[in-house]
Amino acid sequence: MRRVRIYDTRTRSTRLFVPLTPPKVGMYMCGLTPYAEAHIGHGKAAVTFDVVARALRRWGYRVFYIQNVTNLDDKLIARGAEEGVDPMVLADRHFRAWLRSMDRLGVRSVNYYPFATDYTPEILAQVQQLVDRGFAYAAGGSVYYSVAKFPHYGELSGQKVEQLRPGARVAVEAEKRAPEDFVIWKAATPGEPSWESPFGPGRPGWHIEDTAITVQLLGARYDIHGAGIDLIFPHHEAEIALAEGATGQAPLVSTWMHVGLLTMRGEKMAKSLGNVFGLDRALDELGPETVRFFYLNASYRSPLEFDPDRSLAEARDAYARLRGPSDRLAEAARSPEGDRPLDPAVAQASADRVERLDTLLADDFQTREAIAELFGWGRVVTEQLPKVAAMDAAGREELDAPFAWAREVLGLLTVPEPSGASEAVAPALAARARARARGDYAEADRIRQELRAAGIVIEDDGKGTRWRPAMPSDP
């Protein structure tokens, strides 16, 4: 297994990553509250941790990656009431749309998406543990966590308890003993979903769903917790207090990874602020790999500014330049194999480039720098293209190795397969040839356009007519 260094939010340093039980890695990402359509900001963290999981698996780690779904909270209840839909039905609808978007985006590394309400028994068991251990108290049908009982509260975010205010999604209730205390079991409100409990009917608080799920699935301690930086406080502070208070084991997480937010005009993109650009819209307009490229062509820890008038066009143009040599190599490699090996110096350069790519990713996942290396390799490939027809299979594979790395780890530069319409290419080409022979160039162009719409590109040159699958870099 490769040595990996990751920036840890808790220690504010880049540290050697050492799993608790190597080669196993338990990884958790705070997931979606699916009360509305996902926006392009949601995709940044999803793609970041998809790359983390892909890279760790490449290096021999056995990653179990889970991402929760908050399928019941105040926002879902309010939106469900507006639309006249059960809030959990609404959550399921938007979550299924999210999965379709993730599949298009190439995010397929998550092993399991646990729904919060499926873990209500585990949540109630943890609430009881916290009450029994003196970290929580019942009041007015709800149960609250007493922040003053946990001396390490605030260490992740660097905040002091006396400076804290009630957290997001936590109302200021008269029953609380202190303003910073937060609800972990919320008393039932008429007309809202609820479950029976020893404390009275109610539903889970926001923070405790994560800790009940992770303790159940990953254990009292695990390796990586990821999310956007906006969740450091209060959510992740609360998670630490809850899990460590309930289990008595610390630290809850060995490495905290936080992703910089996607901003629009300097503000966090958020459904609540109304400054959103739909994720599916971006996928439709740009294509999934260009959206991935947009996210990855920056440091994951930095904010990423999104300008709807410029960002998409700039990403499309830059990604087309990156794809060009890869697509041309894939096209050239479809010719019959030759018998010449790749020049030994170029073969060594390819191996060195792959090692450099792994090194960059193993040092806190430097995807932007890796993309720069791929641009550089594209120049090498362009020089070698005239020789590809004569190369043997091993030589072609060696020349493609850095691009193959990009496909495996970054989810970029994939090689499209011919569509199912390719079976109709031969008769279509014959019909086109007949049309050209009789001077019916309008019909010949119509056939070309129909094939292009089906993902087939027709090329005419002095040697005749050839066809190939369309590449994303094609005009």
Q: Are strands 304-305 and 267-268 parallel, antiparallel or unpaired?
A: unpaired
Q: Would you state the structure tokens that stand for residue 410, as one six-digit string?
A: 């970054």
Measured between alpha carbons, how far is 179 from 159 in angstroms, rounded to an integer?
15
Give the three-state DSSP class for 74: helix
pLDDT (average), residues 125-130: 98
Using 50, 70 and 90 to split pLDDT, how confident is the model at 166?
very low
Percent of the chain with pLDDT over 90: 75
Report residue 110: phi and psi, to 5°.
-75, 130
Residue 185's DSSP bridge partners are 143, 204
pLDDT (average), residues 365-384: 98
* Predicted local distance difference test score (pLDDT) of residue 472: 58
pLDDT (average), residues 376-405: 96
pLDDT (average), residues 143-168: 82
* Predicted local distance difference test score (pLDDT) of residue 190: 93
* Predicted local distance difference test score (pLDDT) of residue 358: 98
Nearest to 113 by CA among 40, 46, 19: 46
Please give the C-alpha separations between residue 55 and each of 122, 156, 238, 332, 462, in angstroms, as whole numbers.
Answer: 32, 26, 30, 29, 45
Residue 264's DSSP bridge partners are 267
* Predicted local distance difference test score (pLDDT) of residue 170: 42
Q: What is the pTM of this model?
A: 0.86
Using 50, 70 and 90 to split pLDDT, how confident is the model at 469?
low
Using 50, 70 and 90 to split pLDDT, how confident is the model at 433?
confident
Measured between alpha carbons, how far is 372 from 227 in angstroms, rounded to an integer?
26
pLDDT (average), residues 378-401: 96
Measured between alpha carbons, how far is 14 from 17 in angstroms, rounded to an integer?
9
pLDDT in tens, 101-127: 999 999 999 999 999 999 999 999 999
pLDDT over threshold 90, residue 160? no
The CATH number assigned to the domain with range 5-288 reads 3.40.50.620
- Four-way CATH pick for 310-410: 1.10.287, 1.10.3470, 1.20.120, 2.60.40: 1.20.120
Q: Which residue has the higher pLDDT, 263 or 56?
A: 56
Measured between alpha carbons, how far is 370 from 261 in angstroms, rounded to an integer?
21
Please give the C-alpha separations between residue 42 and each of 34, 261, 279, 350, in angstroms, as whole numbers.
Answer: 11, 9, 8, 35
Is there a common fold for 5-288 and 310-410? Answer: no
pLDDT in tens, 11-20: 999 999 999 9
Give the three-state DSSP class for 204: strand
* Interior/surface letters 88-98, b for 16+ CB within 10 angstroms, e for the rest: bebbeebbeeb
Domain ranges of the chain: 5-288, 310-410, 420-469
Using 50, 70 and 90 to split pLDDT, how confident is the model at 85?
very high
pLDDT over threshold 90, residue 424? no
The amino acid at residue 105 is L
pLDDT over threshold 60, residue 220? yes
Instruction: Report the sign of the C-alpha dihedral through residues 113, 17, 293, 329, in that order.
Output: negative
pLDDT (average), residues 55-78: 96
Measured between alpha carbons, how far is 304 from 295 in angstroms, rounded to an integer?
8
pLDDT over threshold 90, residue 399? yes
For all residues of the chain together, what is the average pLDDT? 91
Burial of 282 (0-12, 13-18, 19+ CB in 10 A): buried
Report residue 45: phi and psi, to 5°.
-65, -40
- Cα within 13 Å of Cα(127), Cβ side: 28
Q: Are 186 and 202 in contact (CB under 8 A)?
A: yes
